[in-house]
Structure 1
Amino acid sequence: MFKCYQNECSRVTRICRWYKNQKIPDLCGGAEQLRFNYSETLDKGHGRTERRMAWVMEDLSDITEAAKWEGLQQVAMIQRDRQIGNKVTTEVHYYIMSKQLSAAEVLDIARKHWEVENKLHWRLDVAFGEDKNQTTNNCAIENFSILNRLALNIHTQDTETNESIKLKRLAAGWDNEKLEQLLSSIVLI
């Protein structure tokens, strides 16, 4: 499952939007004739309500550019509506897939991916203060992110101590022998 960003899949985006708009007036009876598999989840907790809806297009005959993606089997759209208090936000994401999946499976895979991303972001923010970084150069931001992830992986693999990543990072900054030990543990291919 590959997430389409910005204009990478603009044709797919337009088709998903058109099909979704056709389907909205008749959620119960129109899914088969519009060649969509549909699923929806609703989660409540932590002061918020989150509704996730997935539309998976199984017939790609309307996508003339589908041949550009070798092995393309399906196209999906996920809409996530989140309400916290009186504030409602909506996110829409588009995916192309090389495997046949039901809409429920697409929702599950996307949800698990979001959980992993959120946990990784939390770890990077706690250990490296990524949210406090005020770098404005896009290349520098990306380079720092790559270096932080590399350092996080190195510290995670270090099982010599049971300390937090933040403490391991500080120890490596204070002790050159510890830093040398961590850097020598990197396997270069």
Structure 2
Amino acid sequence: MPELLDLLDIKNCIVTADAMSCQRAIAHKVREKGAEYVLSVKENQPNLLESIRDYFSAFTHDCRFEQTVEKNHGRIEKRKYFLETDLDWFEERVGWNGLHGIGAVCSRVEEKGQTRTETRYYITSLRDVSSFAYAVRGHWGIENNLHWCLDVAFGEDSSRARKDNSPLNLNVLRKTALPMLKNADLGRMGLKKKMFRAALSTDTLSFILNPQPLKK
């Protein structure tokens, strides 16, 4: 990711990333490029996660928060976005360039008579809870849409690849193929139909990989 960030103009943007990219080098690169960051914290950063989770378990009621409610097709999702920017006590902030806040997002989903809850944790260079909430919502929107496409077109959820780096390698290949398929102008045709046509025709496959006028 640091190499990718070198290629992009992200000044004055907010960079959001999942837990795999929650790394000091990435936070440093984002700040170096003049941008803000919101990074998800999970088990790959155990000390960071434990400290943030313990804090919000004890002091959520003292934190600034913003709340949203979304209703879609019988599903109601309520989210509370908490942000704490007084981090003098937070020993794990050392080494994280521009870390100004820790955040928690508590979601409660009611659907088909059932209720489920989830809490996610973040570190961020942002100081404003509204900006933090906006960034997290934007990340989830992109993530959910991408995941839906990968599952529908490539059956990612049913993939049985588990050994070594195969899940990551296949995920990279799917995410590389997806924009190629979307950008291939083959008329009114869904992703699966494009894939099927590419399997039957080397001309179509070549067009998707390297867009050129199709042979007639």
Match of 2:193 in 1: 167
Q: Which secondary structure does the structure 2 equivalent of 1:22 belong to? A: helix
Corresponding residue of 1:3? 40
Local SS of the residue matching 2:181: helix
Q: d(CA) in 1 for partners of 2:49 and 2:112?
A: 34
**Whole-angstrom distance in 2 between the partners of 1:22 and 1:100:** 18
2:208 maps to a residue whose letter is L
Which structure 1 residue ranges, 5 or more long, are not aligned?
Answer: 25-30
Gaps of at least 5 residues in structure 2 are 1-37, 212-216
Aligned: 1:53 with 2:110: no
Deviations, residues 5-44 of structure 1 (Å, cap 9, x unaligned)? 21416335424533442344xxxxxx3xxxx321222333
Look up the SS of the partner of 1:49 in the other structure: strand
CA distance in 1, matches of 2:175, 2:49: 32
1:65 matches 2:92: yes
Deviation digits for residues 65-110 of structure 1 (CA, Å, limit 9, x no counterpart): 21210111211111112122442222111111123222x3322321
SS at match of 2:98: coil
Aligned CA RMSD, in angstroms, stands at 2.3
Q: Which sits farther off after the overlay, 146-155 or 130-139? A: 130-139
Partner of 2:7: none
Q: Conserved in 2, the CA contact under 8 Å of 1:12 and 1:75? A: no
Displacement over 4 Å in runs of 4+: none
Higher-Rg member (1/2): 1
| AA matched with 1:57 | E
Distance in 2 between residues matched to 1:164 and 1:72, nearest whole Å: 43
Worse-matched range after superposition: 89-98 or 9-18: 9-18
Query: Residue in 1 aligned with 2:58?
Result: 21
**Aligned AA for 1:147?**
L
Instruction: Give, in whole Å, the separation in 2 of the partners of 1:48 and 1:37.
Output: 26
Match of 1:44 among 60, 71, 74: 71
Percent identity of equivalent pairs = 26
Q: Which residue number corresponds to residue 28 of structure 1?
A: none
- Residue 43 of structure 2 contacts residue 49 of structure 2 at CA under 8 Å; is this kept in 1? no
TM-score normalised per structure 2: 0.71
Indicate the larger mover: 8-17 or 145-154.
Answer: 8-17
Distance in 1 (CA, whole Å) between partners of 2:73 and 2:186 is 36
Shift of 1:63: 0.6
Partner-residue secondary structure (3-state), 1:100: coil
User: Does residue 137 of the first structure (1) align with residue 174 of the second (2)?
Assistant: no
**Residue 137 (structure 2) pairs with residue 111 (structure 1):** yes
* 1:75 counterpart residue number: 102
C-alpha contact (below 8 Å) 1:13/1:94 kept by paired residues: no
Query: Would the aligned equivalents of 1:58 and 1:74 in 2 still touch at CA under 8 Å?
Result: yes
* Residues paired across the two proteins, number: 175
- Distance in structure 2 (CA, Å) of the matches to 1:81 and 1:49: 8
